[in-house]
Amino acid sequence: VWSVDNDVENIRSCTQIVDAARLLRAGEAVAFPTETVYGLGANALSDPAVEKIFAAKGRPSDNPLIVHIGELAQLSTVAGSVPEKGRKLMNAFWPGPLTIILPKNDQVASLVTAGLDSVGVRMPDHPIALALIQEAGVPIAAPSANRSGRPSPTTAAHVFADLDGRVAGIVDGGATGVGVESTVIDVTVDPPVILRPGGITREQMELVIGPVELDPSFQVGAVETPRAPGMKYTHYAPEGEMWLVTGDEAQVRAKMAELLAEAKQHGQKTGVLATEESARYWREQAAADVVLSVGSRHDLEKVAQQLYAVLREFDNQHVQFIVGETFSRDGLGMAVMNRLEKAAGGRILSV
């Protein structure tokens, strides 16, 4: 683990960055901070290097990776032509939490794109990530630096807990800022389609390129009856079984209390994913063993920042049954709710 100060003057020449970049060039996998979550990087032009990412994460190789570039000049090493709307999005949001799906070129490792003819590219808005990629001199493929199926890491300690001994190194740049992954938008189709909601909102992008569609796969609606945990939702799951309850506040609290009481009867250790507004209520009720707040429901940026750390904390405390409140889907709320729905495996009760 190399610690690097974010506001050091010439980050690129720090020995930690130089060492980490040398390992990347040598085909090793190295974890580093971005503005969204920590990534596990490797040379995007080398299949043997990228293979190390999949091995360290235990990730199925049919899921393509995002390529990170440190300067616009690196774009042509991985992507072919750039549609005009793609160019506009880059101008508006790079560096930043936006991944743009583009036609790929032949140089990019086939493991990166999982056999697709497109590639996802982003320029992260983080001084350490930019310096590291520039110093490495090659585009860097990087999924989130967690073991497959765990919440994405927002601190170097999270990465260490998941990947110690499995990677060549971890660059520690402190806690990440956005807290949820980048938005993924496909501009090879028109109108462009959001494949994953994230740090850049639909509203922000529509101001720049006009109408943008949502991929139906993440528009999980609230359901009345419990759903079997769907395979496609196993992504961000905590170890405990998680339920979300949505609706009018009083009824939500009553339903959550009922679920908690039932779980307690079954001898399970219980938890509430609460907000600043409700945490005290839940503690006073002593309705659950563990009450964790993700921040104020009126500050979705904070909620996004803290969400994964809170999910990990439930795991650390071996909570077996978790109930959570839901959030507005406006702006960053769409990404927050998408991650919560995945963590809950689609178990949402509408009251």
Q: Which residues are annotated as a binding site for L-threonine?
A: 36, 68, 122, 142, 182
Smaller CB separation from Mg ion, 263 or 344:
344
Shortest distance (Å) from residue 146 CB to Mg ion: 7
**Among 21, 29, 30, 36, which residue interacts with ligand TXA (rule: CB under 6 A)?**
36
Q: Where are the alpha helices (DSSP H) in the chain?
A: 15-25, 47-57, 84-93, 110-113, 127-136, 156-163, 202-209, 249-265, 279-285, 300-316, 333-343
Element (H, E) at 272: strand 270-274
Looking at residues 103 to 162 of the shown chain, list those that interact with ligand TXA (rule: CB under 6 A). Answer: 113, 116, 118-120, 124, 142-144
**Among 29, 30, 65, 332, which residue interacts with ligand TXA (rule: CB under 6 A)?**
65
Shortest distance (Å) from residue 274 CB to ligand TXA: 26
Kindly state the tokens that stand for 145.
């630096």
Residues of this chain that bind Mg ion (CB under 5 A): 144
Stretch that binds ligand TXA, among 96-104, 262-270, 296-304, 315-323 (CB under 6 A): 96-104
Shortest distance (Å) from residue 32 CB to ligand TXA: 8
Question: What's the rounded Cα separation, in Å, for the pair 271 and 288?
Answer: 5
Question: What's the rounded Cα separation, in Å, for the pair 239 and 242?
Answer: 9
Buried b or exposed e, range 310-337, using 16+ CB within 10 angstroms? bbbbbbeeebbbbbbbbbebebbbbbbb
**Among 31, 37, 108, 303, which residue interacts with ligand TXA (rule: CB under 6 A)?**
37
Smaller CB separation from Mg ion, 144 or 155:
144
Q: Does the protein bind ligand TXA through residue 99 (CB under 6 A)?
A: yes
Q: What share of the chain is helix, strand, coil (3-state, %, to 5)?
A: 35, 20, 45
Smaller CB separation from ligand TXA, 236 or 327:
236
Residues in CB range of 219: below 8 A, 6 or more apart: none
**Among 16, 34, 154, 320, which residue interacts with ligand TXA (rule: CB under 6 A)?**
34
Shortest distance (Å) from residue 164 CB to Mg ion: 18
Q: Are 147 and 167 in contact (CB under 8 A)?
A: no
Smaller CB separation from ligand TXA, 8 or 193:
193
